[in-house]
Amino acid sequence: MYKIAVFGERDSVLGFSALGLDVYPVDMGDDVREMFRSVVRKNEYAIIYVTESFHEELQNDIDRFKDSVTPAIILIPGAGGNLGIGSKAIDDAVERAIGANII
């Protein structure tokens, strides 16, 4: 059975553990790419939420899965606020799926 993971800065992701999601807090100085890749390699997750603040560092890794069914990698706002990256990614996915941006 697949699970859901949340990957991002500690202040943004710890609350998700109360909902039963697997939480992967990232601290300053951690090797973000290697931590993310280890989460993906587990093949346990249908959905991996990633805070927008890590989008730039993980862009190549995230792009590898944009056409995959699992894991679905979804960008979410972090504690620092909404950067608009996640909603743009959803708009792009909808446009790829149906051929037009209806949002």
Domains and CATH numbers, the chain: 3-98 (3.40.50.10580)
- 39 C-beta neighbours (distance < 10 Å), count: 18
30 versus 24: which is more confidently predicted?
A: 24
pLDDT for 90 equals 61
pLDDT, tens digit (0-9, with 9 covering 90-100), for 28-70: 777 899 999 999 999 999 999 999 888 888 999 999 988 888 8
DSSP letter assigned to residue 25: E
C-alpha to C-alpha distances, 63 to 1, 46, 68, 69, 93, nearest whole angstrom: 24, 16, 10, 13, 12
Helices (H), 1-84: 10-13, 32-41, 55-63
pLDDT for 12 equals 92
Asked if 54 and 8 touch (Cβ cutoff 8 Å), the reply is yes
With pLDDT > 90 as the criterion, what percentage of the chain qualifies?
49
